[in-house]
Structure 1
């Protein structure tokens, strides 16, 4: 067994991790700022809700359609270079949005085209970087590295939308320029990482067998399959984010300011828990703690669904974010640490699609259920379903339930 011992702060003594973490923070800011700017920009051009929905589709589809290829690329080529090039492409796309905003044109298709480019580049960056992280730090610091990486991303997720909205007051051009600069700096940071893996002496041919190897590996590993599928179904049924505007307007009667507070709470809880886990890494009973965290997520979601008090609702959402971070911490440790290095890119690509699908489909499922039953019953049923899933997964995946340490020495 490999235990995650030592101070969580020791990971920052690693210069490669500092560069990696800095890139993650910069890209998190860029994604969030740019999402706010694109949303406002598209709506100003079209005044269409459908046009806004198509922006999300344009960003998600490339990740789903290119998952098999992007994972193969991450396993065949140097991940540091793949990540750096992907961020460089996103920087070019952001400056393309800047040029389009400066042009004064009103056609919407160029915006969608540039969003597709950003989404495609992101689809290649994510598996490469997920596979790169475990190679940058010793196994004893891997749990802390996962937690710090998540806390940097979540912090950017809290700051990014506010910063994007603030800069948008100066015009969309300012936001696109800031995002393009952030992506460029992240590209340089990843390129400066000193870690150099052993060169691939023989690159496998691109066949269905090699492309589908990541899916096959996940199916053969009950711990990894259980962790990924648990997160998929928990978020699919338990996510209440899509219904927050309804709660703010019709249940809590708190208006836009209250909506902003509600939306910030899950990220605040996630950051707090990530910082705790980074300082005090989880050492024992990883599997059962993941299952319990999902149950807490479901309970907090159920309580939020029944709440008519803004402070209580904020507290419930804070708990959902903290509980979800425990699940993310354990799942990512299994996915990134359990997988052989030569398979990490393809497994990470499948994991990325699962995460994206659970978020996108979860919002769709919440909307459909709320339309049929009402917002409160939809959230309450979703929380109850998440609790049931955690109990069921404990029975279906005993290897996950009984897993003790985060990492097992091969």
Structure 2
């Protein structure tokens, strides 16, 4: 089931299929994000409403984190991901139908975003936990890099394609997103079933508890530090929810320009993903991760101060590259430090802290933009990210001093 270490990672059929699943599902999600963001802003002309979109996507992760993790560790992870993607695809098609028939309003969009969040809350932890079962531990950092490249390719193509399709109306974007989720479900069915997660030899009620993932993270300073750093960096520095406002009011562009702006961070991230796939980080992994988060904060500040489309695009490119540098290190550390029996529950908490914190960060950016103004809210987030870097280097010295991804 795993490819030899000397074999290119794509020679592993299951990894290639997994890459395609990541590409399709993330492209669908990004296209829907563009359509939802622009449609809600057109209907409400409110930064706060964009913040509520992020909140609606975040709430399911909070409510379902323990259940989703337990499901990922007890059932076939491929089937769990398929079920989540089926739900997301049905929601996308329902939103398309509402647009075509003219009954979809802001409340309906919020409900749709919430249900999309339910599907993603189950799919994301199981999909992340599935990858280590398809490769050897030595191959995992490279596999994380190439699958991250798939995600970033989708983040580039999805928003740009969504922006163009939006010219035909938001319903067209939702319909295409639904078809991409259907493709993802089909590809998942072609991946061979990996071995079921083995319970620890010392298995007891505590080891099988829904809270075991949280307890495990708390007992591992490197894992806790990596996850929590990214949580607060994304919470403070995330500005994607207010990109429609930046696009329209600061750099004076439209839906197509917004699509390119949403794609820019992924373009930077994609370049770093390809670089890391060829030249994995071998030394000073902790310091490199902290440096990436610091550059992310600085780029966020530049984005907030810019009134130029070109400079904003450059800031977003750098922001995405720096974020991906830290993401690959964090993801590799979390997967390598976690026994397979706990991966579903740990990845569920990780998704809540990292993936869903994007939505909470969007809520934060929308609220602060409405409260203190657009530019101050973005700059505040970037400065806050830099403060977090300094504090985490002091609070988690084991993470800052981590040298190699494997072997400590």
Q: TM-score range by the shorter chain?
A: 0.7 to 0.9
Displacement of 1:354 in angstroms is: 1.0
The 2-side partners of 1:337 and 1:387 are apart by 27
Q: Which residue of 2 aligns with 1:64?
A: 62
1:229 equivalent in structure 2: 228
Matching of residues 385-396 of structure 1 within 5 Å: 385-396=384-395
**1:171-221 Cα distance to aligned partner (Å, 9 max, x none):** 44443332222111211211211142147699x999997111111111110
The DSSP-based 3-state class of the residue aligned with 1:197 is coil
Closer, same or farther: CA 26–370 of 1 in aligned 2, 3 Å: closer
Shift of 1:235: 2.0
- Judge conservation of contact 2:161–2:259 (CA < 8 Å) in 1: no
Q: Which moved more, 1:103-112 or 1:277-286?
A: 103-112
Question: C-alpha distance in 1, partners of 2:302/2:101?
Answer: 49
Q: Which residue of 2 aligns with 1:18?
A: 16
1:89 to 1:289, Cα distance in 2 relative to 1, 3 A: same
CA distance in 1, matches of 2:271, 2:102: 43
Deviation per CA, 1:355-392: give whole Å up to 9, x if none.
24532333344445555654444434433332232122
In structure 2, distance between residues paired with 1:220 and 1:161: 39
Which structure 2 residues correspond to residues 210-225 of structure 1 after superposition, within 5 A? 210-225=209-224
Shift, 1:154, TM fit: 1.5
Cα drift, residue 275 of structure 1: 1.4
Q: CA deviation at 1:242?
A: 4.5
When structure 1 is superposed on structure 2, of 396-405 and 173-182 the one drifting more is 173-182
Q: Aligned equivalents of 2:405 and 2:37: distance in 1?
A: 39
1:379 aligned partner:
378
User: How many aligned positions are there?
Assistant: 401
CA contact (8 A) 1:134 1:336 kept: yes
Q: What does residue 195 of structure 2 align with?
A: 197
Q: CA RMSD in A?
A: 3.2
Q: 1:183 is matched with which residue? A: 181
Q: Which moved more, 1:90-99 or 1:327-336?
A: 90-99
Aligned to 1:292: 291
1:97 corresponding residue in structure 2: 95
> What is the CA-CA distance between 1:94 and the residue it aligns to?
3.0
Residues 164-173 or 232-241, more deviating = 164-173
After superposition, the Cα gap between the structure-2 partners of 1:103 and 1:250, relative to the gap in structure 1 and judged at 3 Å, is closer
Partner-residue secondary structure (3-state), 1:34: helix
Kept in 1: contact 2:51–2:365 (CA 8 A) = no
- Unpaired runs of 5+ residues, structure 1, are none
| Distance in 2 separating the partners of 1:151 and 1:336 | 18
Q: Distance in 2 between matches of 1:396 and 1:141?
A: 31
Corresponding residue for 2:85? 87
What corresponds to 1:274 in structure 2? 273
Distance 1:367 1:35, change over 3 A: closer
| CA distance, structure 1, for counterparts of residue 273 and residue 196 of structure 2 | 32
SS at match of 1:408: coil
Check conservation: 1:287, 1:402, Cα contact below 8 A: yes
Give the C-alpha shift of residue 232 in structure 1: 1.3
Secondary structure at 2:8 match in 1: helix
Which range moves more in the overlay, 299-308 or 13-22? 299-308
**1:346 to partner: Cα distance:** 0.7
Structure 2 distance, partners of 1:140, 1:122, is 29
